[in-house]
Structure 1
Amino acid sequence: MKSNAAKITERAIARLKLKQLRLLIAVGAHRNLRNAAREMNISQPAATMILKELELDFEVTLFERTNRGVSPTVYGDTLIRHAKLILAQLAHAAQELDDLGEGRRGRVVVGTLLAASSHLLPRAIEALLEIRPDVSIKVVEGTNEVLMPALRAGEIDLVVGRLPTYRHRDDLVQDKLFDETIHAIVRPGHPLANKQTLTFEDLKPYPWIIPPLETTLRRQLDHFFVVQGQYEPPMAIESISYLTNRALTQSRDFIGIVPAHVAVEDISNGTLARLNWDVPFGNNPIGVSYRKEGRLSPASLALLEVLRTISSAL
């Protein structure tokens, strides 16, 4: 005797259309059936009928009416998430076929955080191109708050960088590559640059460049400031762009905090200087995240192996 899940699967295979999935995603995004129907270029009654068919096929209620429109139920949220994955995988398949037609061997979309963007990922890409010279690579930079939802939705294959301490773990595999330390950096002519021993009291009078609120490093920094008597910098610029941070640090007396290997070349060639202050936070693992469900493409698997090999050397 077939299980209910098996029966639903059979119905979905026989009847499910991509237009239904697109409408489902649109309604979830707009929280409004009329606007979703307009986006799909169909009438509202037609959109209502499509949703009813989905609910009958899956035997669940997907949306609830509210004063402001509609809101996905827990079943709706689940089906929307899987619908996004299905459409993303189709887009990847189309892109991969196009890449093959253009003579490229495979495609990988990798998200990167600051901790991986300047050193680890470039080296990994160089190594990947040595073994797969025709691979197509797309790099997307951002924070975990942006990259992890894109990873879950199938828009990104891998995310490389600082692993989240407590969020974004459901449905994802997180492989630790190595432990990172944080350095405080300044311009070579900064008043603190050549001092041999520093305490946080020495740093207090100076402006800071700090990570965005949604980052793990920022949360750790804020906690440290609170412990230091509710300290607030005289000036603070919030930025995740290393190029911007480096330029600002070189031009004024800012103190920046960065993962150690991100600034290693600038420190070694004298572009920046490392303060003789042991940063008491931020020693978190650097790693790679990918979805538990589904298989990585051959190109993504190759990049994953290259990342592991390079990280062991680091």
Structure 2
Amino acid sequence: MDAKLQHFLAVYEHRSLGKAGRALGMSQPALSKSLRQLEQSLGMTLFTRHAWGVAPTVYAHTLLPYVRAIDMQFAAAQEELEALKNAHIGVVRVGSGAGASASLLPRTLLRLYGERPGMQVFVEEGLYHPLVMGVREGRLDMAVTMLTNLELPAALGHCRLMADPFHVALAHDHPLRGMPGRSCLPRLRDYPWVLPPQNGVLRPLLVALFKQLELPAPTATVQGVSIPCSAELLRKGRFLTLLPESVLRHYPDLAVLPLPELCLQRDLVAIWNQEIPTTPAAEYFLALLRDEAGRAPASAG
């Protein structure tokens, strides 16, 4: 609040320049000068001076409730700013790939709610390119997604969170699980597949993987990234798909083909825009995210 208004309140309450000055920790001449400047700016006399002190004029009585309201609003603003500074409140906008949305992100959100219930988080799930663009344009504070071989824009920084390899997933009773060793490889195309969209970054990696194995890439019977839908198709339809290891831990009724050559080694990363100042809330969320990633079980891939 403006110092002159604080001085006005002190003089009004104490009815004495000397007492008000001592309460404020300032000299009586300095307080008198500040009060005169306020009266000059308003064009009216707020106090009449007497030998025993000062008396408020009708203008001072009229001004008083407005100054007290300003004082209370300023104090409330200070409290809110302090809470914002210490990340007790604030809004974080997070973009997430499907894998992070099913595993790392929920753990981080639960911990955040326990530690900072006043914070709000908006989660946007999507593919790699839209998420990176959202961070670049400032619509997202950060994105949690799979690290690719593509070069990030110079403005974007990133940190590794955890290894999260992709495996070929299937139902426990799928016929391919009963085939020994590599003998199942030629049969991979005999079954329907749920594959990521062609405009994503995972699909080309899968095609390259099959090319290394000198096998034709599977054709998508279903194309999409919905993990619950994929899991249900695997359980009931003999489908195959690629799922990150962190997600598979939450689906004990699903299995993987335990062949190293069918594993895509990928890292989960957090991406942010280095050209946009990071809010305290976003910094706090990123710290929790990194800590939760560090607590995740080690990858078996």
Which TM-score band (shorter chain)? 0.5 to 0.7
**Which of 150, 163, 172 is equivalent to 1:166?**
150
What is the identity, as a one-letter code, of the residue corresponding to 1:308?
A: R
**Which of 244, 267, 285 is equivalent to 2:267?**
285
- The alignment status of 1:150 with 2:142, answered yes or no, reads no
Q: Deviation of residue 273 (structure 1)?
A: 2.0
Q: Which residue of 2 aligns with 1:131?
A: 115
Number of matched residues? 212
Q: Which residue of 2 aligns with 1:309?
A: 291
Indicate conservation of the 8 Å contact 1:196/1:276, yes or no: no
Aligned ranges for residues 1-314 of structure 1 at < 5 Å?
105-198=89-182, 199-229=184-214, 231-233=216-218, 236-267=221-252, 270=253, 272-314=254-296
What is the identity, as a one-letter code, of the residue corresponding to 1:312?
A: G
Q: Deviation of residue 114 (structure 1)?
A: 1.8
Provide the identity percentage.
27
What is the identity, as a one-letter code, of the residue corresponding to 2:133?
A: P
Q: Deviation of residue 153 (structure 1)?
A: 1.0
Q: Deviation of residue 113 (structure 1)?
A: 0.3
1-structure distance, mates of 2:249, 2:202 = 19
Indicate conservation of the 8 Å contact 1:183/1:279, yes or no: no
Q: Deviation of residue 255 (structure 1)?
A: 0.8
Name the CA shift for 1:157/1:235 in 2 (closer, same or farther; >3 Å). closer
Measured against aligned partners, the alpha-carbon deviations of 1:215-274 in whole angstroms (never above 9, x if no partner) come to: 33211111123344461436532211111111211221111111101111212xx2x222
Indicate conservation of the 8 Å contact 2:168/2:263, yes or no: no
Measured against aligned partners, the alpha-carbon deviations of 1:104-152 in whole angstroms (never above 9, x if no partner) come to: 8210010000221111010011111121111111000001111111111
TM-score by length of 2: 0.65
Indicate conservation of the 8 Å contact 1:161/1:286, yes or no: yes
2-structure distance, mates of 1:230, 1:119 = 31
Q: Deviation of residue 167 (structure 1)?
A: 3.5
1-structure distance, mates of 2:261, 2:194 = 14
Q: Deviation of residue 196 (structure 1)?
A: 5.0
Name the CA shift for 1:235/1:241 in 2 (closer, same or farther; >3 Å). closer
Measured against aligned partners, the alpha-carbon deviations of 1:78-126 in whole angstroms (never above 9, x if no partner) come to: xxxxxxxxxxxxxxxxxx99xx9xxx82100100002211110100111
1-structure distance, mates of 2:107, 2:180 = 33
Indicate conservation of the 8 Å contact 1:206/1:235, yes or no: no
Q: Deviation of residue 204 (structure 1)?
A: 3.1
2-structure distance, mates of 1:160, 1:179 = 13
1-structure distance, mates of 2:265, 2:114 = 32
2-structure distance, mates of 1:230, 1:192 = 16
Indicate conservation of the 8 Å contact 1:210/1:218, yes or no: yes
User: For 1:111, what is the secondary structure of its paired residue?
Assistant: strand
Unaligned runs of 5+ in 2: 1-79, 297-301
2-structure distance, mates of 1:249, 1:289 = 32
User: For 1:165, what is the secondary structure of its paired residue?
Assistant: coil
Indicate conservation of the 8 Å contact 1:221/1:281, yes or no: no
What is the identity, as a one-letter code, of the residue corresponding to 2:278?
A: L
Indicate conservation of the 8 Å contact 1:107/1:136, yes or no: yes
Aligned residues: CA RMSD: 2.4
Indicate conservation of the 8 Å contact 1:151/1:159, yes or no: yes
User: For 2:159, what is the secondary structure of its paired residue?
Assistant: strand
Indicate conservation of the 8 Å contact 1:181/1:283, yes or no: yes
Higher gyration radius (CA): 2
Measured against aligned partners, the alpha-carbon deviations of 1:278-311 in whole angstroms (never above 9, x if no partner) come to: 3445212111000011221111111100011111
Name the CA shift for 1:232/1:285 in 2 (closer, same or farther; >3 Å). closer
Of residues 228-237 and 153-162 in structure 1, the stretch that sits farther from structure 2 once superposed is 228-237
Name the CA shift for 1:231/1:182 in 2 (closer, same or farther; >3 Å). same
2-structure distance, mates of 1:137, 1:156 = 11
